[in-house]
Amino acid sequence: MTTPRFVLELREKIGHAPLWMPGVKGVVLRAGAGGAEVLLVQRRDNGRWTVPAGILEPGEEPADGIAREVLEETGVVARPLRLVGVQTTQPTEYPNGDRAQYLDVVVALEPVGGDARVNDDENLAVAWRPVSELDDVPPLHRRAIEWARGLDPRYADGGAAGGGAYFVHDGEAKRA
Protein backbone atom coordinates (compact mmCIF):
# COMPACT_ATOMS: atom_id res chain seq x y z
CA MET A 1 0.00 0.00 0.00
CA THR A 2 1.37 3.40 -0.93
CA THR A 3 1.69 5.37 2.28
CA PRO A 4 1.04 9.13 2.04
CA ARG A 5 4.05 11.33 2.71
CA PHE A 6 2.46 12.97 5.75
CA VAL A 7 2.02 9.54 7.36
CA LEU A 8 5.66 8.63 6.68
CA GLU A 9 6.73 11.90 8.32
CA LEU A 10 4.55 11.13 11.36
CA ARG A 11 5.96 7.60 11.55
CA GLU A 12 9.49 9.03 11.73
CA LYS A 13 8.45 10.73 14.96
CA ILE A 14 6.15 8.13 16.57
CA GLY A 15 7.36 4.82 15.18
CA HIS A 16 4.70 2.09 15.14
CA ALA A 17 2.42 3.77 17.72
CA PRO A 18 -1.30 3.80 16.81
CA LEU A 19 -2.51 6.55 14.49
CA TRP A 20 -6.11 7.77 14.23
CA MET A 21 -6.60 8.40 10.50
CA PRO A 22 -9.25 9.89 8.20
CA GLY A 23 -10.23 7.21 5.70
CA VAL A 24 -12.64 6.93 2.79
CA LYS A 25 -14.38 3.97 1.18
CA GLY A 26 -15.96 4.20 -2.26
CA VAL A 27 -18.90 2.07 -3.31
CA VAL A 28 -19.09 2.22 -7.11
CA LEU A 29 -22.26 0.52 -8.34
CA ARG A 30 -23.50 -0.21 -11.86
CA ALA A 31 -26.22 -2.23 -13.52
CA GLY A 32 -24.89 -5.56 -14.79
CA ALA A 33 -26.50 -8.25 -16.91
CA GLY A 34 -27.57 -10.16 -13.80
CA GLY A 35 -28.34 -7.19 -11.55
CA ALA A 36 -26.32 -4.70 -9.55
CA GLU A 37 -22.52 -4.97 -9.62
CA VAL A 38 -19.92 -3.35 -7.38
CA LEU A 39 -16.34 -2.42 -8.20
CA LEU A 40 -13.86 -4.33 -6.01
CA VAL A 41 -10.09 -4.50 -5.65
CA GLN A 42 -8.01 -7.40 -4.37
CA ARG A 43 -5.49 -5.89 -1.98
CA ARG A 44 -1.83 -6.83 -2.35
CA ASP A 45 -1.09 -6.57 1.40
CA ASN A 46 -3.67 -9.14 2.57
CA GLY A 47 -5.30 -10.65 -0.54
CA ARG A 48 -8.79 -9.53 0.48
CA TRP A 49 -11.42 -8.25 -1.92
CA THR A 50 -12.64 -4.79 -0.81
CA VAL A 51 -14.20 -1.63 -2.16
CA PRO A 52 -11.61 0.99 -3.12
CA ALA A 53 -10.44 2.85 -0.03
CA GLY A 54 -7.69 5.12 1.17
CA ILE A 55 -6.39 7.83 3.43
CA LEU A 56 -7.37 11.45 2.91
CA GLU A 57 -4.53 13.89 2.35
CA PRO A 58 -4.43 16.86 4.77
CA GLY A 59 -7.22 19.28 3.78
CA GLU A 60 -8.67 16.97 1.11
CA GLU A 61 -12.45 16.73 0.86
CA PRO A 62 -13.78 13.15 1.26
CA ALA A 63 -15.63 13.14 -2.09
CA ASP A 64 -12.50 14.36 -3.92
CA GLY A 65 -10.33 11.89 -2.03
CA ILE A 66 -12.41 8.83 -2.86
CA ALA A 67 -12.79 9.83 -6.52
CA ARG A 68 -8.97 10.08 -6.62
CA GLU A 69 -8.55 6.71 -4.88
CA VAL A 70 -10.99 4.94 -7.23
CA LEU A 71 -9.16 6.27 -10.28
CA GLU A 72 -5.68 5.55 -8.86
CA GLU A 73 -6.57 2.01 -7.83
CA THR A 74 -8.92 0.88 -10.63
CA GLY A 75 -8.62 3.15 -13.68
CA VAL A 76 -12.34 3.91 -13.36
CA VAL A 77 -13.42 7.54 -13.42
CA ALA A 78 -16.24 7.82 -10.90
CA ARG A 79 -18.51 10.68 -9.86
CA PRO A 80 -19.42 10.96 -6.17
CA LEU A 81 -23.19 10.82 -5.67
CA ARG A 82 -23.84 10.96 -1.94
CA LEU A 83 -22.52 10.43 1.54
CA VAL A 84 -23.56 6.91 2.48
CA GLY A 85 -22.36 6.67 6.05
CA VAL A 86 -19.67 7.03 8.67
CA GLN A 87 -18.13 4.20 10.66
CA THR A 88 -14.99 3.35 12.60
CA THR A 89 -12.78 0.44 11.60
CA GLN A 90 -11.21 -2.01 14.01
CA PRO A 91 -7.57 -1.29 14.91
CA THR A 92 -5.23 -2.58 12.19
CA GLU A 93 -1.64 -3.74 12.46
CA TYR A 94 0.25 -3.80 9.19
CA PRO A 95 2.99 -6.32 8.33
CA ASN A 96 5.68 -3.71 9.11
CA GLY A 97 4.26 -3.22 12.64
CA ASP A 98 2.53 0.12 12.01
CA ARG A 99 -0.81 0.39 13.83
CA ALA A 100 -3.78 2.52 12.78
CA GLN A 101 -7.51 2.92 13.15
CA TYR A 102 -9.70 4.79 10.69
CA LEU A 103 -12.73 7.04 10.80
CA ASP A 104 -14.30 5.78 7.60
CA VAL A 105 -16.36 8.11 5.42
CA VAL A 106 -18.34 5.96 2.97
CA VAL A 107 -19.32 7.57 -0.35
CA ALA A 108 -21.47 6.17 -3.20
CA LEU A 109 -20.14 6.82 -6.68
CA GLU A 110 -21.19 6.07 -10.24
CA PRO A 111 -18.77 5.11 -13.02
CA VAL A 112 -18.52 7.69 -15.79
CA GLY A 113 -15.44 6.53 -17.70
CA GLY A 114 -12.31 4.45 -17.80
CA ASP A 115 -11.88 0.68 -17.79
CA ALA A 116 -11.58 -1.43 -14.65
CA ARG A 117 -7.98 -2.63 -14.32
CA VAL A 118 -5.18 -2.78 -11.79
CA ASN A 119 -3.92 0.79 -11.96
CA ASP A 120 -1.43 0.88 -9.06
CA ASP A 121 0.94 -1.27 -7.01
CA GLU A 122 -1.53 -1.64 -4.08
CA ASN A 123 -3.77 -4.26 -5.70
CA LEU A 124 -3.51 -7.66 -7.34
CA ALA A 125 -6.82 -7.54 -9.25
CA VAL A 126 -9.83 -5.34 -10.00
CA ALA A 127 -13.29 -6.68 -10.87
CA TRP A 128 -16.96 -5.81 -11.17
CA ARG A 129 -18.76 -8.36 -8.99
CA PRO A 130 -22.49 -9.09 -8.53
CA VAL A 131 -23.66 -7.74 -5.17
CA SER A 132 -25.09 -11.21 -4.51
CA GLU A 133 -21.56 -12.72 -4.52
CA LEU A 134 -19.71 -10.97 -1.71
CA ASP A 135 -19.05 -13.76 0.81
CA ASP A 136 -15.28 -13.16 0.63
CA VAL A 137 -15.60 -9.39 1.22
CA PRO A 138 -14.84 -8.21 4.81
CA PRO A 139 -17.89 -7.25 6.93
CA LEU A 140 -17.33 -3.47 7.03
CA HIS A 141 -16.98 -3.40 3.25
CA ARG A 142 -20.12 -5.53 2.78
CA ARG A 143 -21.93 -3.17 5.14
CA ALA A 144 -20.76 -0.16 3.10
CA ILE A 145 -22.10 -1.81 -0.07
CA GLU A 146 -25.46 -2.53 1.55
CA TRP A 147 -25.67 1.04 2.85
CA ALA A 148 -25.02 2.42 -0.66
CA ARG A 149 -27.58 0.08 -2.21
CA GLY A 150 -30.14 1.04 0.44
CA LEU A 151 -29.90 4.71 -0.49
CA ASP A 152 -30.19 4.24 -4.27
CA PRO A 153 -33.54 3.11 -5.76
CA ARG A 154 -31.71 1.64 -8.80
CA TYR A 155 -29.95 -0.93 -6.61
CA ALA A 156 -32.00 -1.27 -3.42
CA ASP A 157 -33.73 -4.58 -2.78
CA GLY A 158 -37.30 -4.11 -3.96
CA GLY A 159 -36.49 -0.66 -5.34
CA ALA A 160 -37.25 1.08 -2.03
CA ALA A 161 -34.62 3.58 -1.02
CA GLY A 162 -34.13 6.92 0.57
CA GLY A 163 -33.51 8.40 3.97
CA GLY A 164 -30.37 9.81 5.41
CA ALA A 165 -26.85 8.46 5.70
CA TYR A 166 -25.95 5.64 8.07
CA PHE A 167 -23.93 5.88 11.27
CA VAL A 168 -23.01 3.47 14.04
CA HIS A 169 -24.09 4.02 17.66
CA ASP A 170 -23.77 1.53 20.50
CA GLY A 171 -22.48 -1.05 18.03
CA GLU A 172 -25.51 -0.86 15.74
CA ALA A 173 -25.85 0.67 12.28
CA LYS A 174 -28.60 3.29 12.23
CA ARG A 175 -29.97 5.69 9.64
CA ALA A 176 -30.15 9.43 10.07
Tell me, what CATH number does 139's domain have?
3.90.79.10
**126-164: pLDDT as tens digits:** 999 999 999 999 999 999 999 999 998 888 876 556 678
Q: What is the reported pLDDT for 26? A: 98
Q: What is the reported pLDDT for 111? A: 98
Q: Is residue 85 part of a domain?
A: yes
Q: Is residue 1 part of a domain?
A: no
Domain count for the chain: 1
Q: Is residue 174 part of a domain?
A: no
3-state secondary structure the chain: CCCCHHHHHHHHHHCCCCEEEEEEEEEEEEEECCEEEEEEEEECCCCCEECCEEECCCCCCHHHHHHHHHHHHHCEEEEEEEEEEEEECCCEECCCCCEEEEEEEEEEEEEEEECCCCCCCCEEEEEEEECCCCCCCCHHHHHHHHHHHHCCCCCCHHHCCCCCCEEEECCEEEEC
What value does the mean pLDDT of the chain take? Answer: 93
Q: Is residue 131 part of a domain?
A: yes
Q: Is residue 65 part of a domain?
A: yes
Domain residues for 134?
Answer: 20-167
**18-70: pLDDT as tens digits:** 999 999 999 999 999 989 999 999 999 899 999 999 999 999 999 999 999 99
Q: Is residue 73 part of a domain?
A: yes
Considering Cα of 80, then 83, then 85, then 88, what sign does the dihedral take?
A: positive
Q: Is residue 59 part of a domain?
A: yes
Q: Is residue 8 part of a domain?
A: no
Specify the pTM.
0.91
